[in-house]
């Protein structure tokens, strides 16, 4: 657990897979996957656009359906103002100003994200998110490494 001050907010943030409640860990991973695979920004649109044209050139019509669906979802997320990395980061926040967060519904995660964005520049939150994501992934590899022995 780390303590961080962002503007006037005092945050307590999960930085270990050992402490992070499993339902938050799953939600964190969902937002990370959506951010990586579908996106919710101009970069995501550009990626999907390039993939669509590449598939058209290759005449890979089966893949086009999925690409268009992902493009649609990306546009939908942008219209809905879904900042996926911020929502993923909000999953890691245990408390704000010593008040534990118990409601981690999507609406409340949006509220937390907006509150953090008002307190600091988005880039600061995004950089902190990237560091925590990397730390959690490193620790996940430690906990879930493959064993050379098969037990049965």
Question: Is residue 40 pLDDT above 50, yes or no?
Answer: yes
Q: Which residues contact 12 (CB under 8 A, 6 or more apart)?
A: 1, 2, 3, 93, 94, 95, 98
Per-domain residue ranges of the chain: 2-40+82-139
- Please give the helix or strand (H or E) that residue 9 lies within, else none: strand 9-13
At 152 the pLDDT is: 46
Q: Which residues contact 65 (CB under 8 A, 6 or more apart)?
A: none
Question: Is residue 146 pLDDT above 70, yes or no?
Answer: no
At 145 the pLDDT is: 52
pLDDT band at 129 (very low <50, low <70, confident <90, very high): confident
Q: Which region among 18-22, 28-32, 95-99, 129-133 has the lowest average model confidence (pLDDT)?
A: 129-133
Give this prediction's pTM.
Answer: 0.78
């Amino acid at each position: 657990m780390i303590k961080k001050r962002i503007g006037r907010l005092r945050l307590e943030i999960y930085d270990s897979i050992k402490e992070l409640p499993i339902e938050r860990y799953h939600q964190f991973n969902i937002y990370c996957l959506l951010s990586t695979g579908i996106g919710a920004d101009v970069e995501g649109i550009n990626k999907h656009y390039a993939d669509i044209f590449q598939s058209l050139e290759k005449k890979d019509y089966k893949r086009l359906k999925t690409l268009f669906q992902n493009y649609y979802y990306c546009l939908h997320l942008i219209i809905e103002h879904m900042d996926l990395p911020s929502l993923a980061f909000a999953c890691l926040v245990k408390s704000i100003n010593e008040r534990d967060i118990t409601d981690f519904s999507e609406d409340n995660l949006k509220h937390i994200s907006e509150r953090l964005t008002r307190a600091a520049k988005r880039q600061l939150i995004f950089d902190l998110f990237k560091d925590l994501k990397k730390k959690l992934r490193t620790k996940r590899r430690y906990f879930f490494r493959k064993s050379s022995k098969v037990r049965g």
